[in-house]
Amino acid sequence: MKHDCWRHAIQKELSALNENGTWTLTTLPSTKKAIGCKSVFKIKYKADGSIERHKARLVAKGFTQTEGIDYLETFSPVIKMTTIRVILPLASTNNWYLHQLDVNTAFLHGDLKEVVYMKVPPGLTVSQPNLVCKLEKSLYGLKQASRQWHAKLTAVLLQSGYTKSLADHSLFIKHVSSSFTAILVYVDDLILTGNNMIEITEIKKLLDNEFSIKDLGELKKFLGMEIAQSSKGILLYQRKYTLDLLEETGMLACKPCSTPMEYAGKLVHSKSGTPLADPSLYRRLIGKMLYLIHTRPDLSFAVGHLSQFVSCPTNDHLDGAKIILRYLKGSISVGIFFSSADSGFNIKGYSDSDWGGCLDTRRSVSGYCFYIGNSLISWKSKKQQVVSRSSAEAEYRALALAACEA
């Protein structure tokens, strides 16, 4: 709070809340309890790592809400990573436009159905000390905030002629004659793609009038994943995320290795090694690696195997995780490439399994992967059980439906 940049960010946030009519100041009824709030500070970075802006977000302490009184339903869908990897090769082959939007203060646009009272936020001047904020609209931190925002956005898109995909409820499609436009929604981050730039411009104007958006132009970075586009195709990778992971773990100067596992040796099992005194480091490391799998199928088996031991990790499991970090050091910019060359839109699936590969249960280890043309879009490696034929067929049907709709 001693820095002007953060004080300016707080005042900007409070001004946006007041302009949006998020609350009205009133006295607290004797039968109600006001929830608290706090400011959360974050530095937003550009794709090249430079600082874009300082951001302050007023967040309600939703963990103090009472179910059935302050909120009812909370679930809100987001776009599946597989759906993103279905759309990108189609966009690459058909030479579609790819744009990105960010909705300013997205959760504030949701209509709040329940009556919720909140304490006066820091930095807001009031005339009387006993006043509280009666929330008229949704606010960040509330249990139902994400659901209310998604419902509001869905209603606007459906009124604009878009239809919700049956395969993914966060994928919206508008297909009129030869014009095709698709919108992929992940909370307040939107990807717009299609062959009609006029429709893309129109929907941008509509969303800006309804919610106030930030047009980020061509798609370059989404959910920590970087997107590089050229005439040859689209590359999806996580270079900055990988560098941050190596720096956080102190492995930025490590010696790289060529494989993510020591394939010549035996797989580690639950009883190998000495249990770690503090398993939190291993758990955080595996959690970050699991997010890397979205663009690194080469890590799927190794990370999936080590993730089975997060309940009681040992030094052998940590050594296996460090091998993956050394492998990442030698392949920082590796990702998935979706070629623009027309390779057809047939969906192909492959599956395989070993025999008794699990050292703990002697069950088989199996996995599968799916392609659209020559572009890899979905994969999974499963331990402890063989992937059933029905689960693989369900994945195939979901992918086929999403691709056919596009």
pLDDT at residue 199, rounded to an integer: 93
Q: Say whether pLDDT at 65 is over 50.
A: yes
Strands 225-230 and 233-237: antiparallel
pLDDT at residue 384, rounded to an integer: 43
What's the average model confidence in pLDDT over 328-353? 86
pLDDT at residue 266, rounded to an integer: 58
pLDDT at residue 385, rounded to an integer: 45
pLDDT at residue 308, rounded to an integer: 85
3-state secondary structure of 228: strand
What does the mean pLDDT of the chain come to? 86
Q: Which of 395, 380, 376 is nearest to 88 (CA)?
A: 376
How far lies 243's CA from each of 238, 256, 259, 331, 333, in Å? 9, 13, 18, 11, 9
Max CA distance (Å), the chain: 73
d(CA 386, CA 145): 39
pLDDT at residue 264, rounded to an integer: 57
d(CA 19, CA 212): 12
SS3 content of the chain, % helix, strand, coil (to 5): 35, 30, 40
pLDDT band at 48 (very low <50, low <70, confident <90, very high): confident
Question: In Å, how far from its chain's centre is CA 227?
Answer: 15
What's the average model confidence in pLDDT over 16-26? 84
pLDDT per residue over 98-126, tens digit each? Answer: 999 998 878 878 888 888 899 988 878 77
pLDDT at residue 275, rounded to an integer: 87
pLDDT per residue over 131-187, tens digit each? Answer: 888 988 888 889 998 999 999 999 999 999 999 998 899 999 999 888 999 999 998
Dihedral (Cα; 76, 42, 291, 82), 10-degree rounding = 40
Q: Give percent of the chain with pLDDT exceeding 90.
A: 35
What's the average model confidence in pLDDT over 346-363? 77
pLDDT per residue over 355-401, tens digit each? Answer: 776 777 777 777 888 898 888 988 887 654 444 455 566 666 666 67
Question: Which residues have C-beta within 8 Å of that of residue 295, sequence separation ≥ 6?
Answer: 225, 236, 237, 238, 335, 336
pLDDT per residue over 249-272, tens digit each? Answer: 999 999 999 988 876 555 667 677
pLDDT at residue 288, rounded to an integer: 93
Buried b (16+ CB within 10 A) or exposed e, 227-259: bebeeebbbbbbbbbbbebbeebebeeeeebee
Q: Give percent of the chain with pLDDT exceeding 70.
A: 91
